[in-house]
Structure 1
């Protein structure tokens, strides 16, 4: 619920979901609300298909920020927005709920693009990953590409389909089936079926108003990049400053990614922990704090390649670089725990019941973890990993540096 509004207030803002066939898609109650509306805000594509009569009409040709500013200026004045499909499913309604109280809005949905696409393909929505690439980086698709996965995605334009195919092809999923569902429910409806590799090669002309469905099919040898933490080290571009796979899996398990949770990755290196945090839970966010410019560049590329384009990257050293950042639900300190003021700054910022995990490989860092554990409690684990590597004609165990892991939950309410 937003911070604005009073429970029980009369709704002044009406959101009506509409299909590509215009007013014919509305139910009788929705049609009645439309007919009684004094001000209509709608995309130009929708306005071109309907008769709004003599009422005030505002073409919705601007972004979310400008939309919110317009609505705030008209607050309390009856206003109706026509939005495609279900306004609460990756739509304007869900966005406005961040700033308006639910009591201020009346929402009348139409079938969403997800429902329409699933009904045409015979896919059960409960078995489908539903994402939006509309107004978002198409690279967010990458984290959902798994063998056998079915994905339905909202798109921005026809170009989004081409870019999605390029991501699939680059990941070794060129065989994946792609259904492009154009103008569903309208007179210009068309469904096109292609493989990702075919889309990349031909770059067909595609209507901008489309929904994309994907049946993921890997080619032999395609890398399996699971959402379960512990991606192969080779999945990341790095300069050696990397939390190794085995340690990373244990670290993420103790951080406990949760939907919508925010992680601070302090001394992020190549960004592996923050990226895996975002991949592990729906809507999870992360901020990578890293002082070295070359590593920040690697973090950005890794985030794009692995489907976490929303990762925020902050330049600088802790604790100074932490000022004014949003309070985290979890913090990972991969290096620098012995530096003055680092623990104190993150502990103060961490939300109550938040998790902190700090790793150390040096004697000095380990001593600091012992002292902090004695003061704040939590668990200490020393992890020693060895990997089998060739020794002449045989295999032998090559040990990695032992890592001490301290994990603790901040008490409070």
Structure 2
């Protein structure tokens, strides 16, 4: 049982150990009765800190949930750098609320890294690979401080950047930042991937300037994606993204995903946007995964719909870009759409157009038809060539 008034006090500590702590942080540790943290962080405390020290078990989350159970008074936690930057401080606040958790931050590894390479912190993206997959650290320009999972992260990231056409990216690996064993090494991603050092410390971050800089905000051109022609073309992709109306943290089901362009644009559109791409063709599934990795977005590629729907987390929004006429597909999508969820379906054939018109009649929403023309050479002149029209149904359940 949690006693009224109990607090969790999280103290940030750097690689310089006790020497870098503020007087307030030292005072908190001095009055503690029990201190939790990783073994590495606990080992940074010296003999002046006498409370019981308890290393986090693995997995750590169950221990966080019971941190105050049976405790007599406040509980203290030591954490690396700024505990609110991809750290345990944020997790504890989510579990116990801001009124029960006090955080005394140290200088973050991100700020230290930026100070070493001369970057403004506000112009630098922060990417954590501690819990996220490696491809989420791929960018097509800009600069970022990447928080590593372990000693192998720099080499793995360098290889992935090289494999996705970003081998000229400039990487600086900074180890034991702020401590007596601090070390800094720089190379291009290609050079690091070719000859990765074997003595990288587990405590490292990577400052990356992504090259070439091919950043583009808004809907990308078709040739940005590897595809076999099965792709929602750029103008229609822009209209479809407007209809899907992504919001931060939402999950999209992209059904009949083709090259995955809609799923990838969805993920690029805002923070925390995730997508699951359903595609029956195995070559296209591999292509979707490669496209997602090249843009550093989180797209889970699944087998054919609707058979694999039961194994996927529930969506916020569903897009049907292919397979509209497959028997039972729209029914299965509509059934799994939560109340208030949005469904968008595009149709290019008479048969698929007829089907979504029937659903529009039965369930309402909006029905739109788009047709546009492209200027192309006509002898010595320019003429208009029509692009196949698309019918779109939009509904909210």
Decide whether the 8 Å contact of 2:124 with 2:144 is kept in 1. yes
CA distance in 1, matches of 2:77, 2:265: 38
Corresponding residue of 2:309: 322
Cα pair 1:87 1:107 within 8 Å, conserved: yes
Which residue number corresponds to residue 135 of structure 1? 131
Q: Does 2:197 correspond to 1:210?
A: no
Partner of 2:156: 163
CA distance in 2, matches of 1:334, 1:99: 39
The answer for unaligned runs of 5 or more in structure 1 is none
Deviations 1:101-144 (Å, cap 9, x if unpaired)?
A: 333422222221112222333322221111112232221122x3
Q: 1:226 & 1:282 partners in 2: Cα distance?
A: 16
Residue 171 of structure 1 deviates from its aligned partner by 4.0
Bigger mean CA offset, 331-340 vs 390-399:
390-399
**Aligned-partner SS, 2:287:** helix
Q: Within 5 Å, which residues of 2 pair with 1:144-159?
A: 144-146=139-141, 149-159=142-152
Name 1:81's counterpart in structure 2: 77
- 2:169 corresponds in structure 1 to 176
2:45 is the counterpart of 1:50: yes
User: Equivalents in 1 of 2:287, 2:223: separation in Å?
Assistant: 14
- CA 1:392/1:161 → structure 2, altered by over 3 Å: closer, same or farther? farther
Conserved? CA contact 1:230–1:246, under 8 Å: no
**What SS does the corresponding residue of 2:162 show, helix, strand or coil?**
helix
Cα distance change, pair 282–128 in 1 and its aligned pair in 2 (3 A) = same
C-alpha contact 1:10 1:103 (8 A) present in aligned 2: no
With over 3 angstroms needed to count, the CA separation of the structure-2 counterparts of 1:297 and 1:170, relative to structure 1, is: closer
* TM-score (norm: length of structure 2): 0.85
SS of 2:346 mapped into structure 1? strand
Which residue of the partner structure matches residue 21 of structure 2?
26
Q: Who is 2:288 aligned against? A: 299
Give per-residue Cα distances to partners, 1:299-351, cap 9 Å, x unaligned.
Answer: 3333223312x322333422x54347444322111123344554444345444
What is the alpha-carbon root mean square deviation over aligned residues? 3.2
- Over 3 Å counting, the alpha-carbon distance change for 1:173 and 1:327 in structure 2 is closer
Q: Map Cα deviations across residues 362-413 of structure 1 (whole Å, 9 max, x no partner).
A: 2121122223334444433333456677899998876553221222344xxx
Distance 1:317 1:175, change over 3 A: closer
1:116 to 101, 112, 116: 112
1:228 to 213, 218, 222: 218
Deviations 1:185-244 (A, max 9, x none): 1111223232333323332343221121122332xxx8x3635233424523x4443323
How many residue pairs match? The answer is 392
Local SS of the residue matching 1:158:
coil
